[in-house]
């Protein structure tokens, strides 16, 4: 298990069942991953991301439904917010690649595994700061 903890904010309609599908297929990924089920990640204010990093989270993967989000306009608002937070992280000297917005569907098992592997790679080789 990597020492850095990865927080996964998983939309209840798409990404959370997607994470379940990975389990149902008995595929494997590192255990430093913690999935939070959430109706839509648009609920989190910018401060949530800064605070989570401050608390010790190594990386955050926001797994949304993408353009298939069941909530009107939520994905666009979320994407704009993640862009702003990424800029803010960079200004604070924090590696912005520690925050990733992606779309995971209910059967996107390979994408789920790739995102987890990519984030672990970033945490292992790029470091926490810019």
Partner 1 sequence: MNSEEVKIGVYICHCGGNISDKVDVEKVAEDAGNLPDVTVSRTYTFMCADPGQELIVEDIEKHGLNRIVVASCSPSLHETTFRSAVVRGGLNQFLYEHVNIREQVSWVHASTGEATAKATTLVRAAIARVRHHEPLSLIRVGATSRALVLGGGVAGLRAALDLAVYGLPVTIVEKSSRLGGQVAEFGTVFPTGESGAELVRTLVRDVSALEEITVLTGARVTGATGYVGNFTVMVEQERGDGSTEDLEIPAGAVIVATGSRPYEPDMGEFGFGQFPEVVTLPDFIQILNETRADGDLTVNGKMIRRAAFIHCVGSRQIEGIQKPKPGRPLNENCSRICCTATLKAESDLIEKFPGVFVYDLYRDIRTYGRNHEEIYERASRDGVSFLCYEPATPPVVTMAAPDDTGNLLITVKDNLTAGMEIEVAVDLVVLAVGMEPADVGPLAESLKLPAGADGFLQEVHPKLRPVEMAVAGVVLAGTCQSPRDIEESCASASAAAVKVAGLLTRGHVDLEPYVARVNADRCEGTGICLSQCEYDGALKIVESVIDGRAIRKAVVNEALCTGCGACVAVCPTRAIDINGWTLDQFEAMVDAMCADPVEVASD
Binding interface with partner 1 (CB under 8 A): 1, 5, 7, 13-14, 17, 19-20, 22-24, 26-31, 33-40, 42-46, 48, 51-52, 55-57, 65, 68, 70-74, 77, 81, 105-107, 109
- State both tokens at 61: 């993967």
- Cβ-in-10-Å burial (0-12, 13-18, 19+) of 67 comes to exposed
Tell me how far, at minimum, the Cβ of 106 lies from partner 1, in Å. Answer: 4
Nearer to partner 1, 43 or 87 (CB): 43
Q: Which is nearer to partner 1, 39 or 127 (CB)?
A: 39
Q: Which is nearer to partner 1, 44 or 102 (CB)?
A: 44
How far apart are alpha carbons 99 and 128 in whole angstroms? 11
Candidates 47, 49, 72; CA nearest to 60 is 49
Q: Least distance in Å: CB of 46 to partner 1? A: 8
d(CA 120, CA 114) in angstroms, rounded, equals 10
- The least distance separating partner 1 from the CB of residue 81, rounded to whole angstroms, comes to 7
CB-CB contact of 94 with 5 (8 Å):
no
Q: Which is nearer to partner 1, 32 or 130 (CB)?
A: 32
């Amino acid at each position: 298990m990597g020492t850095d903890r990865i927080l996964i904010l998983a939309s209840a309609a798409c990404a959370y069942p997607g994470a379940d599908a990975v389990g149902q297929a008995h595929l494997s990924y590192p255990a430093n991953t913690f999935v939070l089920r959430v109706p839509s990640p648009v609920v989190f204010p910018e401060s949530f991301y800064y605070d989570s990093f401050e608390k010790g989270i190594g990386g955050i993967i926001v797994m949304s439904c993408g353009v298939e989000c069941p909530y009107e306009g939520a994905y666009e608002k979320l994407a704009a917010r993640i862009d702003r937070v990424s800029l803010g992280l960079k200004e604070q000297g924090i590696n912005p690649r520690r925050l990733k917005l992606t779309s995971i569907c209910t059967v996107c098992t390979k994408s789920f595994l790739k995102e987890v592997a990519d984030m672990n790679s970033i945490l292992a080789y790029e470091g926490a700061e810019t």
